[in-house]
Amino acid sequence: MYTIMLKAKLHMARVTHAVLNYEGSCAIDGELLDMSGIRENEQIQIYNVENGQRFTTYAIRAEEGSRVISINGAAAHLAGPGDRVIICSYAHYSEAELETHQPSLVYLQEGNAVSHTSNAIPVQFA
């Protein structure tokens, strides 16, 4: 049996571009892709913190160091420049893999600069 688990997350990324007349996808700074472990053409989920929109697309590489997060194609109707988004990828893990699995979490601050990284989501308190 396989379980779908969080593989990687870019937390609180700021959308820099929204390009409606583009083939589709989400362009992400290549350094952020590499740091998070999200691969080019990998399916991603995007959660818009500003308006609650949630959508699926795939990642493409933007210029390294550009800090670009560009929502392209039809999804440009769901997120625009300045919106804060959470970008996640998920993967299927076997029972054996679950023993050691840890997601790659990259937390961003203004300008899409990396604040810190982690492999564990903090416990939520009431």
Residue 24 has pLDDT above 80, yes or no: no
pLDDT value, residue 126: 87
Active site residues per annotation: 25, 58
Please provide the DSSP assignment of the chain as one string. -EEEEEEEEEEEEE--EEESSSSSEEEEEHHHHHHHTPPTT-EEEEEETTT--EEEEEEEEEPTTS--EEEEGGGGGT--TT-EEEEEEEEEEEHHHHTT---EEEEEEGGGEEEEEESSPPPPP-
What's the rounded mean pLDDT across residues 107-115? 98
Residue with more model confidence, 24 or 59 = 59
In the prediction, which pLDDT does 23 show?
80
- Residues belonging to the binding site are 57, 73-75
Mean pLDDT on 8-37: 96
Count CA atoms closer than 13 A to 117's CA, side-chain side.
12
pLDDT tens string 69-86: 999 999 999 999 999 999
Does CATH number 2.40.40.20 belong to domain 2-95+103-118? yes
- Looking at residue 121, what is its pLDDT? 86
Q: Binding site residues for substrate, as ranges?
A: 57, 73-75
Whole-model pTM: value is 0.96
